[in-house]
Amino acid sequence: MALPHGLKVLLPVLALVAAAPAMAQPDYAAAIKADYDKDLGALWDHFHRNPELSHMEVKTAARMAKELRATGAEVTEKVGGTGVVAVLRNGPGPVVLLRADMDGLPVKEASGLSNMSVARQVGVDGIENPVMHACGHDTHIVGLVATARRLVAMKDRWSGTVVMIGQPAEERIAGAKAMLADGLYTRFPKPDYALAWHVNSLLPTGTVSASEDIQYSSSDSIDITVPGVGAHGAAPHTGKDPVYIASQLVIALQGIISREKPPLKPGVITVGAFHAGTKHNIISDHADLQVTVRANDEDTRAMLIAAIRRVSANVGRLNGLPEDKLPVVKVIEGTPVTKNDPALTRRLNAVMVQTLGEEAVVPFEQKTMGAEDFAYFVQADHKVPGYYFAVGGTPRAALDAAEAGGPPVPSHHSPLFKIAPEPAIVTGATAMTAAVLELMKKP
Ligand SMILES: [Zn+2]
Ligand SMILES: [Zn+2]
């Protein structure tokens, strides 16, 4: 009795399944997977064990140059420091830039992976630190090699010039600017389109996601030095205490967010470092703050930075610091908002649906105010439309378990960060190959 009833329910379902188009993975997806199994997995293992800090990606760049040269691309090294540029010419047609960032982070890996990094390196700041690929840039560079190999294998299916770059120092939002300043758009073919992807630990493996507008916020790193007048800790009236003044400043800066910034415009001010003093009973002669500022539009960005300058100076005045010894505010580095080109994004998101399937293309949702220096490649004055997409890096089961109260998924930059390399690289390279074939297809 139960059986016929069950069948009645099952049959329409089967009919539906049969009617739906089979999820056609393109032929090159299997080739990328085979390439991963054969040697790209080992290449990822190598990069994961041997991360290098921003601006110091010397061995990584040399290996990337070797891998890209082996595909037949013309490779130029040391562009903007350790940057690598590989040009693949294949007849007339558009120029498409593919960017992968190469740097690791000063983090001691505790991911539990069998190929955990034990590397240490002296950074540009002169300080030795443990190093880890704690943002997944190792998957990006292997993905670029995978894409290069596939494009060479399918030269009959596209026409034009692909410019592939291994970019240094993304984590210091400095490498893109350095490569442009070193002639990326003048010494090499200037792109008609610029593409990049980033693995994302909050997205399930096998998925991609791209915004038709803002993909990443702007970011500015600001140093504030608060001068003081040193004194004995028991005689505060004889000095000017910079710890006290800088503490007021830390609080006052948050007033910019809550009382000055329009509430419907996103923005963040975070004081990430506060250093002052040497000992219990000495009033220091200065305090140093390191601040990050995020925004989603240039007006808010400029307003926040101007307000930080004004509030810093006036907190100094409030405490009686003389005009020539007010807090000094310096913008050390910054990057604009990373915006995707809306028309290009609609076009390529449709290609992602065709290539990976409807469910694999997740609607974009900006969850944090993370930043990216890819923004420099697609600034309006270059007239280079950009498409930047996220690629899932965590198995769905792990995300579901975390949502059900299980172990949390470690965030990017955490010592526990780990992504599933194979699906990230295979999906990223498949998606990137699909995008290039669309933009460069033979007429
Ligand atoms: Zn990062
Ligand atoms: Zn990153």
Task: Report the separation in Å between the CA atom of 138 and the middle of ligand 1, taken as the mean of its atom positions.
Answer: 11
Task: Report the separation in Å between the CA atom of 26 and the middle of ligand 1, taken as the mean of its atom positions.
Answer: 31
Tell me where in the chain the CATH 3.40.630.10 domain(s) lie: 8-216+337-439
**At the topology level of CATH, where does 218-334 sit?**
Alpha-Beta Plaits (3.30.70)
Among the listed residues 253, 218, 222, the one whose alpha carbon sits nearest the alpha carbon of residue 330: 222
pLDDT for residue 24: 58
Secondary structure of the chain as H, E, C letters: CHHHHHHHHHHHHHHHHHHCCCCCCCHHHHHHHHHHHHHHHHHHHHHHHCCCCCCCCHHHHHHHHHHHHHCCCEEEEEECCCEEEEEEEECCCCEEEEEEECCCECCCCCCCCCCCCCCEEECCCCCEEECECCCCHHHHHHHHHHHHHHHHHCHHHECEEEEEEEECCCCCCCHHHHHHHCCCCCCCCCCCEEEEEEEEEEEECCCEECCCCEEEEEEEEEEEEEECECEECCCHHHCECHHHHHHHHHHHHHHHHHHHCCCCCCEEEEEEEEEECCCCCEECCEEEEEEEEEECCHHHHHHHHHHHHHHHHHHHHHCCCCHHHCCEEEEEEEECCEECCHHHHHHHHHHHHHHHCHHHECCCCCCCCCECHHHHHHCHHHCCCEEEEEEEEECHHHHHHHHCCCCCCCCCCCCCCCCCHHHHHHHHHHHHHHHHHHHCECC
Ligand at minimal distance from the CA of 106 is: 1
Q: Domain 8-216+337-439 is classified in which CATH homologous superfamily?
A: Zn peptidases (3.40.630.10)
pLDDT for residue 23: 52
Tell me where in the chain the CATH 3.30.70.360 domain(s) lie: 218-334
Ligand at minimal distance from the CA of 136 is: 2
Task: Report the separation in Å between the CA atom of 228 and the middle of ligand 2, taken as the mean of its atom positions.
Answer: 38
Ligand at minimal distance from the CA of 391 is: 2
Put simply, whether the predicted model's pTM sits higher than 0.85 gets the answer yes
Selecting among 57, 67, 170, 241, the annotated active-site residue is 170
Task: Report the separation in Å between the CA atom of 383 and the middle of ligand 2, taken as the mean of its atom positions.
Answer: 24
For residue 170, indicate whether it is catalytic: yes
Ligand at minimal distance from the CA of 138 is: 2
Task: Report the separation in Å between the CA atom of 238 and the middle of ligand 1, taken as the mean of its atom positions.
Answer: 45
Selecting among 57, 67, 101, 103, the annotated active-site residue is 103
Task: Report the separation in Å between the CA atom of 265 and the middle of ligand 2, taken as the mean of its atom positions.
Answer: 24
* 443 residues of the chain, pLDDT tens digit each: 333 333 333 333 433 444 444 455 788 999 999 999 999 999 999 999 999 999 999 999 999 999 999 999 999 999 999 999 999 999 999 999 999 999 999 999 999 999 999 999 999 989 999 999 999 999 999 999 999 999 999 999 999 999 999 999 999 999 999 999 999 999 999 999 999 999 999 999 999 999 999 999 999 999 999 999 999 999 999 999 999 999 999 999 999 999 999 999 999 999 999 999 999 999 999 999 999 999 999 999 999 999 999 999 999 999 999 999 999 999 999 999 999 999 999 999 999 999 999 999 999 999 899 999 999 999 878 889 999 999 999 999 999 999 999 999 999 999 999 999 999 999 999 999 999 999 999 87
